[in-house]
Chain A
Amino acid sequence: MKNIIIIILVVFSCSAKAQSTLCPALQAFHGEWRYVNGQDTIKIYLRSNDYTITGDGPVTIAKLWGWHEFKQGNTIIESNYSNRFLALPTNSNNVVANSYSISLQMPQCNVSRQKLIGNIHDLSQCYESKVVTITFNTSQTQLNWKQTHPTGFGFMTGCKGMTLPSNFVLTKQ
């Protein structure tokens, strides 16, 4: 019985740590967000933690990790949604490439700027990065998602398309 309690406590403890202490404001974005327009459905799942980028000038940042699924009707265009409950890497040494698709930060952890920035990997376009700029409403229930190609996009891969729409509004589920 004692062991069971300890295990439960450990699991609970690990679960509780899966959020950012550097920027607790990111907690409000955890969970599923959805956009529906006709046949198009985009689901995005976000979680945050404190993540140390190792190597030169190591730094710990407050990071929102994300996974997405894009469906048209019943056809899944692209998805890595099944990865959304994987343990979050706490430092860049244990990141598994392509295990997530979205990386976001809140500039200066300043909620009043109502902005998140980062990138998304386009799963159908050679995992090319797209620059993401999000503005959110004051109640933090809607994300106005804008994504653009970065400078030099497709230079290395030849993949110059963009699978998701360049602008859509996600609603918290």
Chain B
Amino acid sequence: MLPGELTIIVKDLQQQLFKRNFIANFIQWHGNPQWNKAIKIKKTNPGCVTIAIPTFKDGVLTAFIAATITPNNKILFEIHRSSTVTNGLKEYSYIGINLPASKFYLSLFSSRKKVVAKSKSAENNVMEPCEYCWWEWDICPGGFTSSSDSTSENMAPGGGGPHYCWNYFCEIDDCNGGGGGGGGGGGGCTICPPECPEPFWYSFFPVEDPCGPPPPPPPPAEPCSQFIQFLESDSNFINRMKYLNSTGPGMPLGLQNEVGYEIRDITQYNSTSYIPKAGSTSQPTIDWDLPANSLQAGYIHSHYADLNSIFSPWDVIFFAQTFILNHAKDSLNLFFGMTSSYGVPNLMKVGNPAIFRIFCEKIVGTNGLDAVKIDKFQEKFYNKINTENPDTNEKEFLKLIKEYGAENGLLLYQGNTNCDKWTKRKVDNSGYVSSVPCTPVVE
């Protein structure tokens, strides 16, 4: 039996994950929440209830989610990862869970060591430095009655069976890390809880300040690309991309090599228009092995686990070489698609071909082989776009293209998991990434 607060949180978290198409990504990195190990944290904001839920992957504790129910029944999520503690990184917290506090709760979840329950008299708001107090949902102690037991906060509804209570515990930690235990510091907000439009989204980014300015309004709608509209309705393309985006044993994202298709003719599906390709084991590459005078409509491929969530610099270099050496079947619509274990497929496509040509000349030279330019590009790329955060990678990718003046020459689209909806992505001058809405064009 779960406590009432947790039932609300489970539902809300599911909605948040679905909303962001984030379930696969979340489970990939954090494993599954262990709801029955949830605890209620004492030190939170006034009027709020905070439940901490650990997540385990392959039996190993990876993180805990701190879900705070505000007085107006809004739920704010934040996540505190084991890796963050290990690497001494800072994560924002609405409720002041700083690094020592995060470390304490992680150790609590991993060991589940219990200390002597404190009496009701200890449950005031005066806490010693580095003192942590929490409740565990468990069978009520012997002699419990709903009106007299001093170690319980609330009682399981309904009659029959054992009563469940929030049982109270406290422990004083050794203050390692020097922070105030259980609260304070750690980059919390000055006015908490903040009314962020999408708090769950923010909480996944340690570098984002949930109390920062609200995101800018979405960019104005553009006419949809007719070519993208075609891809969204072309079952051959959709099915191949969905295949490349599939996980599990033997499927592309479950392999240890890249898989893809060289597409010579997007308008039909046969062995000469969609040519399957596969890389070697543990080689983050595909030998596309293009014949000398071949023309390409595009390429699609998979990045297996541990590879980047976005295109590699070599993908972009190869794309530019294809274009600049006139291997594009349709230079207005040459494209390159990719999938990765992060779950979000991407597509880059030529926008304005004149602008794209200038970009290509900058990164590979007019002959496609300028080693200094190629080195410069891959060095700039690796300098920024090599994080384990797919959203940071996407943002830095877009910023890099923009820095080269090629924002309208090389377009980036993000796909849904069904690969039948592709949305143009854009970064503004302040570094905010948004989807560009488009108005369908009727041919």
Contacts and interface: CB of A to CB of B under 8 A. Distances in A.
Interface of A: 51, 53, 55-57, 59, 61, 63, 92, 95, 97-98, 103, 105, 107-108, 110, 112, 117-119, 121, 127, 129, 131, 148-157, 160
Given A56-B362, A103-B375, A156-B368, 16 more contacts: A55-B376, A56-B405, A57-B380, A61-B383, A107-B386, A108-B386, A112-B87, A129-B375, A131-B284, A131-B285, A148-B283, A149-B283, A150-B317, A151-B285, A152-B322, A155-B290
B379 interface: yes
A152 B288 contact: yes
Interface of B: 87, 282-288, 290, 301, 312, 314-315, 317-318, 321-322, 325, 362, 367-369, 371-372, 374-376, 378-380, 382-383, 386-387, 399-400, 402-405
Nearest to A92: B376
A155 B387 contact: no
Nearest to A98: B371
B386 A117 contact: yes
B372 A150 contact: no
Nearest to A126: B369
Given A92-B372, A148-B285, A155-B321, A57 B312 contact: no
Contact of B380 (A53, A110, A117, A160): A53
B259 to A, nearest CB: 13
B382 A105 contact: yes
Contacts of B387: 107-108
Given A57-B404, A112-B87, A155 B288 contact: yes
Closest 4 CB pairs of A and B: A57-B403, A152-B318, A150-B314, A151-B314
Contacts of B285: 131, 148-151, 153
Contacts of A53: 376, 379-380
B288 A127 contact: no
Majority-rule SS of B interface residues: helix
Contacts of B374: 129
A152 B318 CA distance: 6
Given A153-B287, A156-B369, A103 B325 contact: no
- Most A C-beta atoms less than 10 A away, residue of B285, B368, B399, B400: B285
B383 to A, nearest CB: 5
A129 B378 CA distance: 11
B306 to A, nearest CB: 10
Contacts of B318: 150-152, 155
Looking at A57, A117, A153, A155, the one whose CB has the most chain B CB atoms below 10 A away is A155
25 contacts: A53-B379, A56-B362, A57-B380, A57-B403, A98-B371, A103-B379, A117-B386, A118-B382, A119-B375, A121-B371, A127-B371, A129-B378, A148-B284, A148-B285, A149-B285, A152-B288, A152-B317, A152-B318, A152-B322, A153-B285, A153-B287, A154-B287, A155-B321, A155-B322, A160-B287
A173 B87 CA distance: 30
A153 B312 CA distance: 13
Contacts of B376: 53, 55, 92
A96 B403 CA distance: 24
Among B315, B369, B400, the most chain A Cβ lie within 10 Å of the Cβ of B369
A95 B312 CA distance: 24
Contact of B287 (A92, A121, A149): A149
B379 A152 contact: no
A93 B283 CA distance: 33
A152 B403 contact: no
A121 B371 CA distance: 9
A37 to B, nearest CB: 20
Nearest to A129: B374
A110 B387 CA distance: 11
A149 B317 CA distance: 13
Contacts of A103: 375, 378-379
A152 B405 CA distance: 25
A151 B404 CA distance: 22
A57 B285 CA distance: 28
Contacts of A55: 362, 376
Contacts of B321: 152, 155-156
A110 B88 CA distance: 11
A26 B102 CA distance: 31
